[in-house]
Chains A and B, each alone.
Chain A
């Protein structure tokens, strides 16, 4: 029974705990040992929290023995390292924050803690979540469990790789331009970016505040819905969270999708899409049609222009957010500063990596006098047009389907020499952030033994429809149940 828990879904593990067939200590111990065994190869986890995890597991067992327990008591979890965890290093995979132990928990962390989950560790990521391959991490690149010569995607690459490798049944991620959905696609797991405003950003290291959103990376749509139930909702500590009721996202998952109108954007199936990926995404969409959905061709004409829009807005917001790292209040401080200017400049130049510095420069330029109108304001205007295109499409459809990423996982070093090549990775995801919509990536097959993801995009605050269609697909297929070699024991 023991090896079966590695790679099992959160729902399965919870029912084992609820039935008393396994203890939280056994479950946590198994996962910690599995992480220890394989993390040196994958580099998906930057800090393993053996001691506190076992203590929390013991407490969960005691609680369960007493008859009254928290809903997810004893269920293991990993957090992306940009979620503040009280007194536990929150590095954002940057030298800047390598020694930062925040004095508080992010709202998401605190909600999941309150629900009873046990945090096993923190996950590797692109530095400050800026990247699509988890190669820009201060701790070195994370590898893809399906092929360790390839990247897991990014920026939540550590979370996606960890779930794919069975390090935990689920993990948190954040998505600013595709950082949950693209790594989920490349690692063969399920990832949800909720609607902007659905989940609190409080305590998540800020990258681009009008785009950032936290969400689950898990083994199934059901598990994503279960985590969303615990992390969604208005938060007085984040004024951008929406005062909109959260339904029980696990309720109605199994309802049929008869008559659901699914839009297929022509622009998502053009020359940017690898033909082998296109074949699998079309096959997945055909499954949805077989389940009763009605397919409609639609146009999202600004799909490609969303890249330019994003690479003005995200760096501009990042340059403002990252101005706080000054070597004074927290984070890296250079040695022996000559004066205050020197303290600022050297602390920042030593603490930030190349991609982060590039985005700060681009953002500073876009916001500077003389460029503001031509770049930042212009990008904000195009952003509204992008949103309007989605609004128009959703007048006649309920859901959009397409690829989550243009290709399967690429080899390490293949794209990180040229920023523009890397930026193309998010061509199908970042317009969803610009428009603030929910997006789901779920496993839709394999080409050359590498996973491919199907993306479903919904109306704002309509995660329920996205999840229902995704769950229907997972009831009809078993792609999400395929296990990476690391779990089945084929390799090392």
Chain B
């Protein structure tokens, strides 16, 4: 197998996903199957090939530096799970 349960655990932590000990073996097995499949890429010679991130090789377009957006605070806070006094509410992060 190309990947160990420890690696999957570590990746889950990076992705902010819970990974229980009970789920880990099955998740690792399927993860490894996908990884083994995509590893076939390594047989394709790509020396000197420039990576392609956009199908038309478009570059970032710039626009004039003028304010175009209006204040959306109330609208956006209205769809938040919890908010208070005009802010998103999260658990206490500083003691």
The chain A residues found within 8 Å of chain B, CB to CB, are 100-103, 196-197, 210, 236, 239-240, 242, 302, 305, 307-309, 311-312, 319, 323, 326-333, 337-346, 348-349, 352, 357-358, 360-362, 364-366, 368, 374-375, 377-385, 387, 418-420, 423, 433-437, 460
Contacts and interface: CB of A to CB of B under 8 A. Distances in A.
Given A340-B93, A364-B15, A382-B46, A328 B88 contact: yes
B55 A434 contact: yes
A305 B41 CA distance: 7
B40 A305 contact: yes
Interface centre among B55, B75, B88 (most CB of A within 10 A): B55
Interface residues of B, number: 49
A328 B15 contact: no
B37 interface: yes
A309 to B, nearest CB: 7
Contacts of B63: 236
A361 B42 contact: no
Contact of A380 (B3, B7, B11, B52): B52
A384 B90 CA distance: 43
B88 A361 contact: no
A184 B81 CA distance: 37
Contact of A197 (B7, B27, B42, B56): B56
A378 B91 contact: no
Contacts of B16: 323, 326, 341, 344-345, 348
A381 B49 contact: yes
B56 A381 contact: no
Contact of A210 (B40, B55, B82): B55
Given A340-B93, A343-B90, A361 B37 contact: no
Given A242-B56, A305-B44, A308-B37, A319 B15 contact: yes
Given A308-B40, A384-B49, A349 B58 contact: no
A340 to B, nearest CB: 5
Given A210-B54, A342-B91, A433-B55, 14 more contacts: A103-B78, A196-B56, A308-B41, A323-B16, A330-B81, A341-B16, A352-B17, A357-B17, A358-B27, A361-B11, A364-B14, A383-B52, A384-B52, A436-B54
A246 to B, nearest CB: 16
B51 A312 contact: no
Contacts of B12: 361
Given A240-B58, A348-B16, A375-B41, A362 B34 contact: yes
Contact of A364 (B11, B56, B88): B11
B85 interface: no
B17 A380 contact: no
Interface string B32-53: 0111011111101010011111
B41 A379 contact: yes
Contacts of A423: 37
A385 B50 CA distance: 9
B52 A387 contact: yes
A337 B52 CA distance: 41
A435 B37 contact: no
Contact of B55 (A196, A319, A328, A338): A196
B31 A382 contact: no
B22 interface: no
B88 A329 contact: yes
A181 to B, nearest CB: 16
A197 B46 contact: no
A337 B81 CA distance: 13
B55 A358 contact: no
Given A312-B38, A339-B93, A436 B56 contact: yes
B55 A333 contact: no
A357 B48 CA distance: 34
B34 A420 contact: yes
A197 B82 CA distance: 36
A319 B12 CA distance: 11
B31 to A, nearest CB: 6
Given A364-B11, A374-B42, A420-B37, A330 B31 contact: no
A197 B54 CA distance: 10
A331 B81 contact: yes
